[in-house]
């Protein structure tokens, strides 16, 4: 069995079916990029993986455990599956350090001291150690997003979901955030990311999935999708965005 298995997932909002039977497998240490037009279902698919949305049918398994359906331990699931959004969603009334250590202390059962030591190592690894006492609104968007990534990493997730994490950033701040993702990929962290950064997707992905209107139209290696897309809709999409 693969590490992450998504099998025939359907998801509707009212009468709007936004995932129409999506199947996808991700092996450990893989970086899978989801590309596709706005509204094609990328965010919904990521949100189904950590159960921020519930599927209507189909199954998702992580490391052999089903995460769809009743009786799932959501605390455990969200420890194992980190997610970072386009809008960094840091808690505005908490310092950077408190943002990062909240979940490990509250949910992970780690002591405050240990959580803070680990947080500092992570913050320093992204150049944010000096900002540990700062509050989010004093940071740039790129700095806030680096903290949001560290906050997710602090739970030591087994897979990270990144949903267009550079989309809200000023162009000059994008590079620093992508550099962190690149580093995590080199360290072998399993990741699924929705992105509009095609150059980056090409560079880091072991697998690229092109979503079109709620279905995977084409998937393959980064080289295959970007250099020799087979489907006409993939070709059209890439000709518009690259």
Q: Does 39 bind ligand ADP (CB under 6 A)?
A: yes
H or E stretch including 84?
A: strand 81-84
- Within 8 A by CB and 6+ apart from 5, the residues are 24, 25, 26, 59, 60, 61
Does residue 241 interact with ligand ADP by CB under 6 A?
no
Query: For ligand ADP, which residue of 4, 6, 40, 174 counts as binding (CB under 6 A)?
Result: 40
Q: What contacts 140, CB < 8 A, 6 or more positions away?
A: 170, 173
41 in contact with ligand ADP (CB under 6 A): yes
The entry of ligand ADP, Mg ion, none that residue 18 binds, CB within 5 to 8 Å by partner kind? ligand ADP
CB of 128 or CB of 216, closer to ligand ADP: 216
Residues in CB range of 208: below 8 A, 6 or more apart:
32, 33, 35, 201, 202, 219, 220, 221, 222, 225, 226
Work out which of 4, 18, 150, 204 binds ligand ADP, going by CB under 6 A. 18
Is 121 or 241 the residue whose CB approaches Mg ion more closely? 241
Indicate the burial class of 14 (C-beta count within 10 angstroms; 0-12, 13-18, 19 or more).
exposed
Give the position of tokens 């965005």: 241
Q: What's the closest the beta carbon of residue 112 comes to Mg ion, in angstroms?
A: 35
41 binds, among ligand ADP, Mg ion, none (CB under 5 to 8 A by kind): ligand ADP
Min CB(145)–ligand ADP separation in Å: 17
Using CB under 6 A, list all residues that contact ligand ADP.
Answer: 13, 16, 18, 36, 38-44, 194
């Amino acid at each position: 069995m693969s590490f992450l298995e998504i099998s025939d997932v359907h998801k509707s909002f009212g009468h709007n079916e936004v995932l129409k039977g999506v199947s996808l497998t991700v092996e450990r240490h893989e970086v899978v990029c989801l590309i596709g037009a706005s509204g094609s279902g990328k965010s919904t698919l990521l949100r189904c993986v950590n159960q921020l949305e519930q599927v209507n049918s189909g199954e998702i398994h992580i490391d052999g455990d089903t995460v769809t359906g009743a009786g799932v331990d959501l605390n455990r699931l969200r420890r194992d599956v980190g997610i970072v959004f386009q809008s960094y969603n840091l808690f505005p009334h908490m310092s950077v350090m408190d943002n990062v250590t909240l979940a490990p202390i509250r949910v992970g059962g780690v002591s405050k001291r240990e959580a803070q030591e680990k947080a500092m190592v992570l913050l320093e690894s992204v150049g944010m150690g000096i900002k540990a006492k700062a509050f989010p609104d004093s940071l740039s968007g790129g700095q806030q997003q680096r903290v949001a990534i560290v906050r997710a990493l602090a739970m030591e997730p087994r897979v990270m979901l990144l949903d267009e994490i550079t989309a809200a950033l000023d162009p000059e701040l994008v590079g620093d955030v992508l550099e962190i993702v690149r580093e995590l990929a080199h360290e072998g962290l399993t990741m699924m990311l929705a992105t509009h950064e095609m150059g980056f997707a090409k560079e880091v992905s072991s697998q690229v999935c092109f979503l079109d209107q709620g279905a995977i139209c084409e998937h393959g290696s980064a080289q295959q999708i970007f250099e020799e897309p087979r489907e006409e809709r993939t070709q059209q999409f890439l000709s518009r965005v690259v």
